[in-house]
Amino acid sequence: MDFEKLTAVMRRLSLEAGDRIMEIYDSPDFEVRSKSDDSPVTAADEAADAIISAGLRAAFPDVALVTEEQSKTHGETASTFLIVDPLDGTKEFIKRRGDFTVNIAYVVDGAPIRGVVYAPAKGRMFYTQADGTTVEELGPFDKDTVGEIEAISVSRPDNNALLVVASKSHRDQATDDYIDLYMVKDMKSAGSSLKFCLIATGEADLYPRLGRTMEWDTAAGHAVLNGAGGRVVRFDNHQPLQYGKDGFANPFFIAYSPDVDLLTS
């Protein structure tokens, strides 16, 4: 893989998809439908998916592609693949809360090694560079020219005063019970894959997820966090979260700065 090309393509496609998403987001009204699993989908999900899928297939025709909005790709069995959630946080999008992201990642042998997370309503973009390190690009964004970038890295947390981030739309008692095991200084809620990015920048230390997610929900954020020195592990055994699983469903997991003293439930 040409990682310089991959970074440039993922960055550009995320911006193009973000522009289309924001056109729909800023419109007076948009249709919301339910998919077969009862999760919501909008024209923005589908438009962003069309842009990203076409761009990735043109640029990397020999690399397998898995995308949330194309069920025919969910039977893919390759060990190396691109994986896309064109609009993560659809519920946040529908409620016009801004916490939604465009997510593109590249997985090799079960590990997401490159990725981009773009939050168009927040004006924040995070991605891995060709060398695997993560940066935040500071807007305004130009599709053809990379703007000012800032290297980011996870925090050196105080385990007696942790900064915890949790899901805004999928919070439950099990998650709260697990968070209560820690000494928490501050707790914030965020939608979509932005939670991984908040750990990557040091704005949070710990993100436990005791609920259903799919690999396209997490791969890009996972890659971004890895490139900033963070980790994502299974909740049950603290082993690295792997990708390319049958059906692309994730187990419960914990994303964190490595200096957090992880606890068991």
Q: 3-151 and 162-256 share one CATH topology?
A: no
Other CB atoms within 10 Å distance of the CB of residue 46: 17
Given a cut of 90, is residue 251 above it in pLDDT? yes
The reply, when asked if residue 115 is annotated as ligand binding, is: no
Given a cut of 80, is residue 97 above it in pLDDT? yes
pLDDT at position 147 is 95
pLDDT at position 151 is 97
91 confidence band (pLDDT: 50, 70, 90): confident
Domain ranges of the chain: 3-151, 162-256
pLDDT at position 152 is 98
138 confidence band (pLDDT: 50, 70, 90): very high
The reply, when asked if residue 90 is annotated as ligand binding, is: yes
pLDDT at position 22 is 95
pLDDT at position 17 is 98
Given a cut of 90, is residue 167 above it in pLDDT? no
The reply, when asked if residue 85 is annotated as ligand binding, is: yes
The reply, when asked if residue 89 is annotated as ligand binding, is: yes
The reply, when asked if residue 158 is annotated as ligand binding, is: no
What's the alpha-carbon Rg for the chain, to the nearest Å?
Answer: 17
pLDDT at position 36 is 63
Q: Of all residues in the chain, what percent carry a pLDDT higher than 90?
A: 79
Mean pLDDT of the chain: 93
* Residue in 44, 14, 68 with CA at minimum distance from that of residue 213: 68
pLDDT at position 168 is 67
pLDDT at position 169 is 66
CATH code of 162-256, in short, is 3.40.190.80
In this prediction, residues 139-154 reach a mean pLDDT of 95
Q: Of all residues in the chain, what percent carry a pLDDT higher than 70?
A: 97
In this prediction, residues 68-96 reach a mean pLDDT of 91
Structure tokens at 121: 């309503």
Fold of 3-151: Fructose-1,6-Bisphosphatase; Chain A, domain 1 (3.30.540)
pLDDT at position 115 is 98
In this prediction, residues 193-202 reach a mean pLDDT of 96
Given a cut of 80, is residue 40 above it in pLDDT? no
DSSP string, the chain: --HHHHHHHHHHHHHHHHHHHHHHHTSS---EEE-TTS-EEEHHHHHHHHHHHHHHHHH-TTSEEEETT-GGGGG---SEEEEEEEEE-HHHHHTT-S--EEEEEEEETTEEEEEEEEETTTTEEEEE-TTS-EEEEESS--SSS---EEE-------TTSEEEEEESSS--HHHHHHHTTS-EEEEEEE-TTHHHHHHHTTS-SEEEE-S--BHHHHHHHHHHHHHTT-EEEETTT-PBP-SS-GGGB---EEEE-TTS-----
